[in-house]
């Protein structure tokens, strides 16, 4: 999937609809990836994103220690991989090898981009004040990538216990909302 850079001011439109994402992290040579649904926008530009990573997840310590990650947005085409990544812990396992995940280097952070996700957001942790209370990290998206061929992504939206809603039809209404 050949990607182009995406304007930071438009990133909110990718995360606001609530897709399941894959969070990649890297500490030294050790990579990890986790499935995540608890995230929200905090600010349009520069785009700030809050996300919850439990301290029971291996990704928690990688994110806390490196303060870098990539938010990768998958579509229904790779739904089985998305669930597989959420079902096992990466502490003793290389999920990239096990699930055959192709990666590409990011430009501003060390964690990799997942090739088969239609959008990738390179992020730095900018606020850790709520990490202790809720496992909440505030991320700034510093670089965004998108597959220009994916016009209407069939994103996954988790409803619990492996049940997902797949993004449906488009609805456009006159609006003054950003």
Which residues bind to its own copies, rule: CB under 8 A?
Answer: 10, 12-13, 16-19, 35, 37-43, 48, 50-52, 76, 79-80, 83, 86-87, 127, 129-130, 133-134, 136, 138, 154-178
- Taking the least distance from each CB to its own copies, the nearer of 26 and 60 is 60
Nearest to 6 by CA among 71, 67, 52: 71
CA distances from 143 to 7, 130, 140 (A): 8, 24, 9
The CB-of-31 to its own copies minimum distance in angstroms stands at 21
- Taking the least distance from each CB to its own copies, the nearer of 149 and 170 is 170
Nearest to 123 by CA among 107, 108, 140: 140
DSSP secondary-structure letter at 77?
A: G
The CB-of-120 to its own copies minimum distance in angstroms stands at 18
The CB-of-28 to its own copies minimum distance in angstroms stands at 28
The CB-of-37 to its own copies minimum distance in angstroms stands at 5
At 177, is the secondary structure helix, strand, or coil?
A: coil
- The first and second tokens of residue 148, run together, are 């220009």
């Amino acid at each position: 999937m050949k990607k182009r850079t995406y304007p930071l001011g438009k990133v909110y439109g990718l995360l606001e609809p609530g897709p399941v994402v894959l969070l990649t992290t890297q500490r030294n040579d050790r990579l990890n990836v986790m499935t995540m649904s608890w995230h929200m926008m905090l600010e349009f530009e520069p785009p700030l994103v809050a996300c919850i990573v439990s301290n029971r997840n291996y990704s928690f310590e990688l994110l806390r220690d490196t303060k870098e990650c990539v938010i990768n947005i998958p579509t229904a085409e790779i739904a089985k991989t998305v669930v597989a990544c959420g079902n096992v812990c990466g502490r003793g396992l290389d999920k990239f090898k096990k699930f055959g995940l192709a990666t590409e280097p990011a430009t501003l952070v060390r964690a990799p981009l997942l090739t088969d996700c239609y959008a990738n957001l390179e992020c730095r942790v900018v606020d850790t004040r709520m990490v202790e209370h809720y496992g909440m990290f505030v991320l700034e998206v510093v670089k965004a990538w998108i597959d220009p061929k994916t016009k209407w992504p069939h994103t996954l939206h988790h409803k619990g216990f492996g049940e997902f809603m797949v993004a449906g039809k488009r609805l456009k209404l006159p609006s003054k909302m950003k």
